[in-house]
Amino acid sequence: MKHPMLKYLKETGACGDRFPTIFCPGCGVGQALNYALNAVDHLVKEDGIPRDRFCFIAGIGCSARVTSQYLGFDAIWSLHGRAPAVATGVLLARPELRAIVITGDGDLSAIGGNHFIQACRRNLDMTILCMNNNLYGMTGGQSSPTTMRGIPSTTSPYGNVESAFDLCQMAITAGASYVARWTTAHPQQCIQAIEKGISKKGLAFIEVMTQCPTHWKEEPVKMMKKYRFQAVRLSKEKEKAALKKDQFWIGEFLDKGQPEWLETYQKIIDRFKE
């Protein structure tokens, strides 16, 4: 039986055949992509959104690479860190599109950090899906702004001396409308969050903790089991509890209605037309 999401992948990609993919065995990027495609599939089937209304925009990295090489949708494979800025341009020209940014932690929060916070601040109607493996996967396992303090990487062999960004907190503070974090070990929650994010007016930020077995040098299944322990579901009772070492919050952190850029601008245009 064919995988149900194959219908959303290209037969051949910009860089050659679709299979075998460029991803290492057990990489979480394929899982996160599968969750995103399931969310899109629901919106196509249940909400009747035509397939050509979706536009994927990516920067550079293993995570970003899925976009133009594998997806059978309109897609832009842009510059490293610039995907939110390119998505902004897409939406200004074609506001009816559902713009989905596929990005990695390095792409989004290192070179692209400013574009990320400005996109959240503007609250444009886009969905940013960040596959966070806590390092630069594509270029050899260097530390990224989400690598935890004290953890060794190829650029911090004695342990990272910097603090890590909490990307969800950044998105909330910068002005996003919907913010959630899950892991590859939470398929249904990821699918629901991505679907909700795409349907939500304003900027939706969904972070999926995604294993990179190659550079963390661990078995993929072991990494996913570890996510189950490390990821603590945020709830009212637990809100004030301290997290243990290496743990992080998961859940829906923000779902708020606020003025969206394109709608606000359209109101100004309409006023002057009158």
Q: How many helices (H) and strands (E) does the chain have?
A: 10, 12
Using the rule CB under 6 A, give the single segment among 8-16, 87-95, 209-217, 253-261 that binds ligand SF4: 209-217
Angle (CA) 158-161-167 rounded to 5° is 125
**Shortest Å distance, C-beta 217 to ligand TPP:** 15
The verdict on 112 binding ligand SF4 (CB under 6 A) reads: no
81-104 CB burial, b ≥16 within 10 A, e <16: bbbbbbbbebbeeeeebbbbbbbb
The verdict on 106 binding ligand TPP (CB under 6 A) reads: yes
Residue 27 or residue 262: which is nearer to ligand TPP going by CB? 27
How many residues interact with ligand SF4 (rule CB under 6 A)?
12
Q: Which does 199 bind (CB under 5 to 8 A by kind): ligand TPP, Mg ion, ligand SF4, none?
A: none
Identity (one letter) of the amino acid at 154?
A: T
In the region spanning residues 69 to 128, those forming contacts with Mg ion, defined by CB under 5 A, are: 104-106
DSSP 223-243: HHHHHHHHEEE--TTTTTSPP
Cβ(76)–Cβ(68) below 8 Å: yes
Closest CA to 112 of 154, 167, 187, 151: 167
Q: Can you tell me which of 67, 133, 177, 184 binds ligand TPP, judged by CB under 6 A?
A: 133
Q: Which does 5 bind (CB under 5 to 8 A by kind): ligand TPP, ligand SF4, Mg ion, none?
A: none
Site string for ligand SF4, 28-67 (x = CB under 6 A): -x--------------------------------x-----
CB hemisphere CA count around 129 (13 angstroms):
35
Instruction: Give the nearest residue (CB) to Mg ion.
Output: 104
Radius of gyration of the chain (CA): 18
Angle (CA) 137-141-143 rounded to 5° is 105
**Shortest Å distance, C-beta 1 to ligand TPP:** 29
- Given the rule CB under 5 A, which residues bind Mg ion? 104-106, 133, 137
Residues that bind ligand TPP (CB under 6 A): 60-63, 80, 104-107, 111, 131, 133, 135-139, 144
